[in-house]
Structure 1
C-alpha cells in the first residue's frame, strides 16, 4: 500500500481532473450569480443544453462525447484501486467497492429506497431555497426536440451517477480510509466536496447535495456496496432530467 502522503496526493490529483475541478468552476459560477444585479431566484441554471441545435446529428455527437469523456475519471479511479487489489485489475477494484452485478434485486430495491429518501425532501428543499432567494431556477433539460433527447438524458444520468458515486464514495472512501481517516471525517469531507461542485445551482444545491452525500456515505460505510448508490443517483437524475423535459412546458413552478 502507498504511504499516507502519497495516498492523499493521489486523491487530490484525481479530484483535480474531475469533480474537484468542477467545484472550482462551481464556486466561480456562484460568485458571478450572487454579484449579478438580478436576485438569485430569478436566474436560471441550464443543464443538458444543445450545442448545435441547428445541426442535430452534430449535436448528438457533442452530447455523446461529453458523456464518454466524463467517464474517464471513473476508469482512472478504478485503475488506481486495481493496482493494489488482489487480484489486480479494474474488475477486481469494482468488486472491492461493490460496483458489480451481484444481488441485482437487492441493489435495485435499496437504490429505489435511497432515491425516494433523497428525492422527495430534496424537491421541497429546492422550492424552499428558491422562495428564500438562495437558489437559481434549474432548467434540467434543454436539448432540441429530437428522438434521441430522452435516451441521451438517461445516459447523462447514468454518467453522473457513475462519476459521482465511484469517485466520491468508492474511490475516496477507500483511499482516505487507507490514509487513516475516521469514517465520519471521510463522510463529512466527501459530502462537503459533493455540495461544493453543485454550488453553481445556488446555496440550496450545496445543502441538498451535501445532505445526500452524508446519507450515501453513511450507507456505504455500512455495506461497502456502491451499486445501490449508482442506481439511486441514476433514478434521481432520470426523474429530474426527463421529468423536466416532459413537464416544464405544462408546469409553471418548475
Structure 2
C-alpha cells in the first residue's frame, strides 16, 4: 500500500505539470473585475518604474544629450561595462552589486507572478526540457546575433549610432567572470520582466497578442536608445521575435539562454581582442 501511495503522488504531479505545459500563456483567464484590473495596472507601472521603464527614460535622456553634443553621434562612444571605481576591489564590488540588481529585477517579476497564482511553469521556467531549451537558445542566438551585428555596422556607417564598446574594464583577473555574470544577469532581468512578466500581465488585462508584443518590443528598444537609432531598431526587432517565439512555444529559458549567449560573446569576445584591433 505504501508503494502504491508513493507512486500516485509523483504521477499526479507529472500530470499537472503536463497540463500546465500544454496550456499557452495566452490561455490565462482575463481579469475583468475593475478593482483587480486597476491593481494589476498599478503593479505593472511600479515594476517598470523601478526596473526597465526607468532605464528607458534615462536612455532617452542620454540620447538627447548625445544629439546636443558638439561631437557627431558617430564619433561618440558608449561602454556597456565600464569601471565604476578607481580601486580594483571596490570596482569589483560595484560590478557585482549591479549584477545582483539585475537578478533582483528578474526575481521581482517572477515573484509577482507567483503571488498572482501563476506558476512559473506557465511562462516556461521549468526544468522539463533542458536539451530542447539549450538547442533553441543556440538557434535564437544565431538568428538574432549575426544580423544584429550587421545592423549595428550599417547604423555606424550611416552615422546614426554611437560606437558601442561592450567593455572598457581593465585587464584584471575578475574581468571575464564578471562579464559572464553581467551577460547572464542582463538576460535574466530583460526576459523575465519584458517577456515572462509583462506579456503575461498585459494578456490578463485583455491586450491582444500582437499589441502586447509590440508594446514590450518598443519598450525594449527604448531602453537601448543610449546606443543610438541602431540600438533602438535592433532591440525592437529582437523584442518582436522573442515575444512571438514565447507566445508560440511558451518556453522562456531559450530566450534567456539566447540573450545570455549573445552578450557573453559580445562582452568577453571584445575584451579578448588585441588592443590594436579595438578602435
TM-score (norm 2): 0.85
Gaps of 5+ in 1: 87-91
Equivalent residue pairs, number: 246
* Shift in CA distance, 180/131, structure 1 to aligned 2, threshold 3 Å: same
Verify the 8 A CA contact 2:194 2:220 in the aligned structure 1: yes
CA distance in 2, matches of 1:248, 1:204: 26
Verify the 8 A CA contact 2:179 2:268 in the aligned structure 1: yes
Aligned-partner SS, 1:71: helix
In our comparison, the structure showing a higher alpha carbon Rg is 2
* Shift in CA distance, 248/211, structure 1 to aligned 2, threshold 3 Å: farther
- Alignment of structure 1 residues 85-96 onto 2, 5 Å: 85=117, 92=119, 94-96=120-122
- 1:248 Cα deviation from its structure 2 partner: 5.8
- Counterpart residue number, 2:37: 4
- 1:135 Cα deviation from its structure 2 partner: 0.2
For the pair 1:139 / 2:165, whether they are aligned, the reply is yes
- 1:100 Cα deviation from its structure 2 partner: 2.4
CA distance in 1, matches of 2:51, 2:173: 30
Q: Which of residues 177, 190, 195 is equivalent to 2:203? A: 177
For the pair 1:62 / 2:94, whether they are aligned, the reply is yes
- Counterpart residue number, 1:117: 143
- Counterpart residue number, 1:251: 277
- 1:8 Cα deviation from its structure 2 partner: 1.8
Aligned-partner SS, 1:134: coil
For the pair 1:217 / 2:243, whether they are aligned, the reply is yes
- Alignment of structure 1 residues 23-62 onto 2, 5 Å: 23-53=56-86, 55-62=87-94
CA distance in 2, matches of 1:161, 1:173: 16
- Could you report, residue by residue, the CA deviation over 1:95-119 in whole angstroms, capped at 9, with x for unpaired residues? 2211222211101100110010001
CA distance in 1, matches of 2:59, 2:149: 21
Q: Which of residues 5, 8, 16 is equivalent to 2:49? A: 16
TM-score (norm 1): 0.93
Q: Which of residues 183, 192, 197 is equivalent to 2:218? A: 192
- Could you report, residue by residue, the CA deviation over 1:184-228 in whole angstroms, capped at 9, with x for unpaired residues? 000100000000000000000000000000000000000111100
Aligned-partner SS, 1:51: coil
Verify the 8 A CA contact 2:161 2:229 in the aligned structure 1: yes
* Shift in CA distance, 185/248, structure 1 to aligned 2, threshold 3 Å: farther
Verify the 8 A CA contact 2:102 2:188 in the aligned structure 1: no
Please provide the CA RMSD for this pair: 1.3
- Could you report, residue by residue, the CA deviation over 1:49-95 in whole angstroms, capped at 9, with x for unpaired residues? 11224x21221111111110222221221111111226xxxxx3x32
Gaps of 5+ in 2: 1-30
Aligned-partner SS, 1:215: helix
- 1:138 Cα deviation from its structure 2 partner: 0.5
